[in-house]
Structure formats: C-alpha cells, structure tokens
C-alpha cells in the first residue's frame, strides 16, 4: 500500500519522460490527451438497516478473482498536487497513460508484471525504452493491491455509501500505525477510494470510471516497427 511519504516516487515517471526529450530527437506536434474528471466527492450515505455485511475475507476474495480492469487512477496529496492516469489491467499486464507536463506525446508505459519488464513508449517517434520494473520506480499499484490489507483483525465496517455511482461498503483500516478509510464496490469487491492519514499528511487515492471486462490485447503490445532501446535502470 502506498504511503504519503512516498509521493516523490510517484512523480519519477514524469521525470523519466521529460528526459526523453534529450534522448530522442525530432519530437513532433502535440497529441490531444484524454481528459479525466477531477476528484469525485463522496456522496451522501445510503440509509440502511443493520443488515448483514459481507465478511471482509469473502469481499477480498471476490475482488481478487476479477480480471480485466480499466479506470482513471487519481492520487491527491495534502500539498494540493495530483497525479492522474488512465490504466488498463489484465492477466498480469498493465498499461498506463498520462498527460506529459512538457507537452507533446502522452506518457505511456506498458508493463508485464509477470516477467518484471516495462516499456516507456513515445508514439510519435515509434520508440520505446525497455527496462526492469524493479529499476524503473513506476507505480504499478492496482485496486487489488489494497485488498491485501483487508483483514478482519484490523478492519472495522463503518457504513454504506454511494461513490462514483456505485454502492460501496466503507471500512476503517489500521495497519502499522497508519489509519485509512477504504470504499469497496460491494458488487465486485473492488476498492474505489482510499483515504490515508499519516501524521499531518493525507493522501486520497481514487479509481474512477471503473469498468470490468476483457481488455483489447493490442493495448499491451507495442506497434509493429517500434524501435526499442534497452536500459538497465533510470541512471541514464
């Protein structure tokens, strides 16, 4: 689970793509990037009787069994900074795309988690950098990762709420001195929102516009003819 103190690592992917300008020549015009909505406010509580709530282990098992995910991944920090990505996940593969702060190409990464490799792809140049995920510092967090902390020993059910149009169970989690609140989509057992408080810092993680179903395999492949540059680490 990400901690607020790790926020600098979240932005290392941005730095990496900014370095591409010096590695690759001839960057072309701009590509219109997909716009993603701002942080979604938690909606009013759904009235409910004290009915039975799904045990946390069953809820976590339900979420872990789901494959084929796409969503907008948004991290908001206490200092007002925000990271927004569009993510696709299926069968141990992950593709993420975010706007390039330097303009031009969107920043695209395609990771194969099972073999520990990631490609950073520039569409206009048809070039990609390949490197080990362990050396890349990219964020490969998926909603399923948060289910690992969903344990009845450290989790307390709080209420039901509607978030992003989906019925959620809200829990409070206390792990290693860190207090968190998590909103889990009851139908699929999938986390949609996480609020983490660590000292005076707060981080809000959201998975919005969530869709479940098969993902086009082409999203996890580089286009034919892409030139690949192999790197051992980010120490370019």
Query: What digits encode the pLDDT tens for the residues 214-225?
Result: 999 999 999 999
Nearest to 208 by CA among 159, 147, 172, 163: 163
Asked if residue 93 lies in contact with residue 110, where contact means CB atoms within 8 angstroms, the answer is yes
* pLDDT confidence tier of residue 51, bands split at 50, 70 and 90: low
Position with higher pLDDT, 189 vs 47: 189
Annotated domain spans of the chain: 4-21+43-215
Q: What pLDDT was estimated at residue 52? A: 55
Task: Please say whether the beta carbons of 164 and 143 come within 8 A.
Answer: no
Residues facing 74 on adjacent strands: 84, 206
pLDDT digits (tens, 9 = 90+) for 155-188: 899 999 999 999 999 999 887 777 899 999 999 9
Average pLDDT (35-44) is: 47
Average pLDDT over residues 75-79: 91
Q: How far are the Cα atoms of 75, 138, 152, 182, 209 from residue 174, in angstroms, in the given order?
A: 20, 26, 11, 11, 27
Asked if pLDDT for residue 38 goes beyond 80, the answer is: no
Q: What local confidence, expressed as pLDDT, does residue 68 receive?
A: 94
pLDDT at 16: 44
pTM across the whole model: 0.75
Separation between Cα atoms, residue 97 and residue 108, nearest integer Å: 5
Are the CB atoms for 160 and 59 separated by under 8 Å?
Answer: no
SS3 string, 73-126, reads EEEEECCCCEEEEEEEEECCEEEEEECCCCCCCCEEEEEECCCCEEEEEECCCC
Distance of CA 100 to the CA centre of its chain: 17
The CATH classification number of 4-21+43-215 equals 2.50.20.10
Average pLDDT over the chain reads 79
């Amino acid at each position: 689970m990400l901690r607020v103190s790790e926020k600098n690592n979240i932005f290392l992917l941005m730095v990496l793509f900014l370095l591409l300008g010096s590695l690759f020549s001839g960057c072309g015009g701009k590509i219109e990037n997909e716009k993603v909505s701002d942080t979604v406010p938690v909606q009013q509580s759904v009235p409910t009787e004290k009915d039975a709530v799904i045990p946390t282990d069953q809820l976590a098992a339900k979420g872990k069994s789901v494959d084929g995910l796409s969503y907008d991944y948004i991290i908001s920090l206490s200092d007002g900074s925000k990271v927004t990505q569009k993510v696709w996940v299926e069968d141990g593969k992950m593709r993420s795309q975010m706007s390039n702060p330097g303009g031009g190409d969107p920043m695209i990464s395609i990771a194969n988690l099972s073999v520990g490799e990631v490609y950073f792809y520039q569409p206009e140049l048809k070039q990609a950098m390949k490197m080990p995920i362990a050396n890349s510092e990219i964020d490969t967090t998926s909603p399923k990762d948060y289910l690992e902390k969903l344990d009845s020993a450290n989790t307390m059910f709080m209420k039901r709420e509607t978030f992003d149009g989906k019925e959620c169970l809200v829990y409070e989690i206390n792990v290693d001195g860190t207090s968190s609140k998590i909103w889990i989509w009851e139908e699929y057992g999938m986390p949609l929102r996480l609020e983490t408080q660590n000292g005076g810092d707060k981080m809000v993680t959201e998975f919005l516009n969530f869709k479940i179903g098969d993902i086009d395999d082409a999203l996890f492949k580089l286009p034919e003819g892409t030139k690949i540059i192999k790197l051992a680490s980010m120490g370019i």
